[in-house]
Chain A
Amino acid sequence: MAAARGDGGGGARFGRSLAAAAVIGIGLMAAVDEIVFHQILAWHHFYDRSTPAVALLSDGLLHAGELIALVAGFFLFADLCRRRALHRRAAWAGLLLGLGCFQLFDGVIDHKVLRLHQVRYGVDLLPYDLAWNGAAVLLLVAGAAATWWARRAPGAGATARPR
């Protein structure tokens, strides 16, 4: 993997590549939630008026975070590409971890702890919650496996094997 070795600009950056892609993953999953589940399927809405006022504040903060994460992640990623410091396998691992993190956070904190809204209304919630959080756990496991694989891979770059 030529891109992983870099070209004298300090070599591939394992941690930075993982982090940049994870930031993209978080923003991307938030965008998927907003576009697919809020807008297209309309399973849950803008705000369902049933939850306490404090949830509005946390939702505002979360929303600000997801918007800025998407833009920040893409620019961090572009900067690594430009300097030929992108560690491709670490980036894939980071993307999966970011996607899984947001999905799990949304499923547990937003839906259950803050009760901002639920996956769907007027149905038995259990299968939906299991599918939602199960998908999150699958993504996280895949991300962890990809991280392990990226660290062990031959030619993964100078900073890929700190031990």
Chain B
Amino acid sequence: MSPAHHGGAVVGWLPVLVLLAAALVVYAGAARRARRAPRGWSGLRTASFAAGVVLLAAALSPAVVQGAHHDPRGHMLQHLVIGMYAPLALVLAAPVTLALRTMAPAWRRRAARLLRSRALHVLGHPVTALLLDIGGLYLVHLTPVYAAMQASPAVHALVNLHYFAAGYLFAWAVAGPDPAPRRPGTPTRLAVLFAAVAAHSLLAKLLYAYPGTWPPGADHAAAMGEAAKLMYYGGDLAEVLLAVALFAAWYRRRGRRFAARRPVPAAGGP
């Protein structure tokens, strides 16, 4: 790698770092205000947001970006961190809930109108999120997009942006604690998660089984097998965490329902 190229990557990283740091400062400030309110704000949510920001900063650092540009293992690592782990950490931090609690009433009304909009219901449906997230992954790995990404850092940046946006949308639609009006019930979301896990591991095995064929026009076919394994096992852990988030929400809701019913049998009990 030429020093000039490397210098370019560092300069490209700076705005990302500034943006991420700004997001963290805004979140932490709002969390401080929410903590003082009677309902409070969990420190775990703040820690989750910080973890998401750190993961994104690391995955977009010059060293990783350069590695990812020329090595399928590096690219797969970026997919896992940018598209799965960081979005999950940010979604679990419930930034929308925090915003709704701390915003001025006028802004809150605007946000509520947006949350009730039909476009958001369609976009935020778990099936839409599944198609955008896993569909995008298939598109990158089974079409010439992968070769285009190797040829152009701009295309690579766009792919990363898509990974992040689609990964966030998917985690929010399936297991997000933030408000999601008209979100389908747990069985539908579980079915979507099941389809996503199956499709993700199927793609990993396809890449492993046919390293010379897919992605078309890719360099370094030899490293693709390693990248596929990384995708398979790394994806597992992220999907287990997502399933835990989904079931933990179910468990909490059920606990509240049980607690609400409980006084009746206790009164007539032995």
Which residues of B approach A to under 8 Å, CB–CB? 190, 193-199, 201-202, 205-206, 208-209, 229, 232, 236, 239-240, 243-244, 247-248, 250-251, 254-255, 258, 262, 265-266, 269-270
Contact = CB atoms under 8 A, between A and B. Distances in A.
Contacts of B208: 46-47
Contacts of A65: 194
A40 interface: no
6 contacts: A56-B202, A59-B201, A61-B198, A63-B201, A67-B239, A70-B240
Given A56-B202, A56-B206, A72-B247, 19 more contacts: A7-B269, A8-B269, A9-B262, A56-B205, A57-B198, A57-B202, A60-B197, A60-B201, A63-B197, A64-B194, A67-B236, A67-B243, A68-B190, A68-B197, A70-B240, A71-B244, A71-B247, A78-B251, A82-B258
B240 A59 contact: no
Contacts, number: 72
A106 to B, nearest CB: 16
Interface string A29-69: 00000000000000000110100010011011101110110
A75 interface: yes
B258 A68 contact: no
Contacts of A72: 190, 243, 247
A144 B195 CA distance: 32
Contact of B250 (A59, A68, A75, A82): A75
Contacts of B209: 47, 49, 53, 56
A82 B252 CA distance: 11
Task: Say what secondary structure dominates the interface of chain A.
Answer: helix
A71 B190 CA distance: 11
Interface residues of A, number: 26
A68 B243 contact: yes
Contacts of A71: 240, 243-244, 247
A135 to B, nearest CB: 25
A83 interface: yes
A36 to B, nearest CB: 16
Interface string A73-91: 0110011001100000000
A8 B197 contact: no
